[in-house]
Amino acid sequence: MNYSNINHLHLLEDRGSRELKNGEPFESTESEVEEGNLAKTLDDNTSLGSSELSGLNLPEFSRNIFDPDLEGYFDKVVRRLALNYEPAAVSFMANASAALGGAKMLRINDGWTEKGCLWIALVGKSGSGKSPLLKSCGGAFLDSIEHKWSEESKAEKIEENENFADKKRLKIDGGTIESLLEFHSHNPFGISRTADEFLSITKGLNQFKNYGNDKEILLTLWNCSSSNYPTLKSPRYIPNVFVPLSGGIQTERLKELIKQESINDGFAARILFCYLESQKPLTFEEDEKLNESAAEVGKSMLNQIMQKLIDLREIPNETHMEKSAKKFLYDVGYELDQMALREEDAIFHGLKKLKTYIYRIGLLLHYIFEEDPDNQLLSLKTAEKTKELIELFKANMFIAYGLAEESIQETCRKIILKTLQEADGPMLAKDLKRKLERRIKAKEQTKLLTELEDEGKIYKGEKDGKADTYSLAEKS
């Protein structure tokens, strides 16, 4: 099955030009697009591009989701790691999910509530900085909380022979599904599973040939419903199931994660993908100019937010939405449902799970933004920012399924064909390039258009004897 079929290459919505130049948004002019200057502008100021993603512009969102000081800290982190900005914000969300825990719920309607549980995979080549990014954007704070709890346990003189799983934990970095459940049963407000390699979470599932239901258990954990996971010695009832997952995965190993089995059982659809892309490294002089004091303000804010989540973690609460926010998020879900109807099974399942994530992300942002989130309604402003993140994850999902099936060059070619297929007649070259600029790097466009013309798949013509046009070649 071809998951990159041109009928579902909606890699990015046309949300206007949001490239960042010196930290500020700028609009590209028609002359820049036509003359190829846009490619030089982006290459000089933004991305080097990684070998796996050469030719494809990664999705972005505007720098107004979080507080400017917090975003300033994220910016410093990614500049030091020579990465794009978006994975820093997503890494923070992954760690915030672990801190929030399963006692908080968002009421959607009479029969539907959601918790802020996220399963996030950062995608990039080996050594690109996935683990340091997770650590810098909240992971180190979670480690400090675990250390604090460990010291408190020692101060309380817990017996040496006490069950190791009895100790209070926020997360575990390894182990089997059985050990995860055991830790969770002693930590009723949730236990996060983190991994340098996301695939290590699934490695060894159902390793016994004739029996074993590890994969089934893992899938039910995503649902965040109270469940029994009995052993021979205990009924082991977990009333507030809450198991966020986070880790990195190498781009070339996506096929191991997005395989037919994982599509059929819905595991792949439960994962939120976010791509890392290499940026130009800082020179010594550029590194020296980073505003450390401003970044420390942002880091302090990050720690304060994480501490707030920890402080509220064990207090059960059900959040409701402002009527305007409820309608707004309903409409976002409706759009995903409409899109899903046109897709093959793999993308259909992904979009359906993304609809659930609308409310999980919304609840998490509510607790991040509000000073007293337990006693406030989820606002329209939070709902609008939720949509920004949903658009980011949707775009990354399409890229992930595309790369799992075929080469990036083939993906870019299909984007061009899809764009021309949807056009109402021949497109002016400048209009086509403007349409593609948010998806395909400008320097790749001419090359790909020439290839497609030589192969007889598209036709290059003229309008009024002056401007070049492109259209799909007529079938003979």
3-state SS, the chain, equals CCCCCHHHCCCCCCCCCCCEECCEECCCCHHHHHHCHHHHHHHHHCECCCHHHCCECCCCCCCCCCCHHHHHHHHHHHHHHCECCHHHHHHHHHHHHHHHCCCEEEEEECCEEECCCCEEEEECCCCCCHHHHHHHHHHHHHHHHHHHHHHHHHHCCCCCCCCHHHCCCCEECCCCHHHHHHHHHHCCCCCEEEEEECHHHHCCCCCCCCCCCHHHHHHHHHHCCCEECCCCCCCCEECCCCCCEEEEECHHHHHHHCCHHHHHCCCHHHCEEEECCEECCCCHHHHHHCCHHHHHHHHHHHHHHHHHHHHHCCCCEEECECHHHHHHHHHHHHHHHHHHCCCCHHHHHHHHHHHHHHHHHHHHHHHHHCCCHHHCCECHHHHHHHHHHHHHHHHHHHHHHHHHHCCHHHHHHHHHHHHHHHCCCCEEHHHHHHHHCCCECHHHHHHHHHHHHHCCCEEEEEECCCEEEEEECCCC
Mean of pLDDT values over 175-182 = 87
pLDDT tens string 327-378: 999 999 999 999 999 887 788 999 999 999 999 999 999 999 999 999 999 9
Q: What is the pLDDT of residue 6?
A: 34
Q: Is the pLDDT of residue 94 over 50?
A: yes
Q: What is the pLDDT of residue 2?
A: 43
Q: Is the pLDDT of residue 14 over 60?
A: no
Q: Is the pLDDT of residue 9 over 50?
A: no
Q: What is the pLDDT of residue 256?
A: 85
Q: Is the pLDDT of residue 312 over 80?
A: yes
Average pLDDT score over the chain:
82
Q: What is the pLDDT of residue 316?
A: 96
pLDDT tens string 45-92: 333 334 445 556 677 777 889 999 999 999 999 999 999 999 999 999
- Percent of the chain at pLDDT > 70 equals 81
Q: Is the pLDDT of residue 427 over 60?
A: yes
The pTM score is 0.76
Q: Is the pLDDT of residue 154 over 80?
A: no
pLDDT tens string 112-125: 999 999 999 999 98
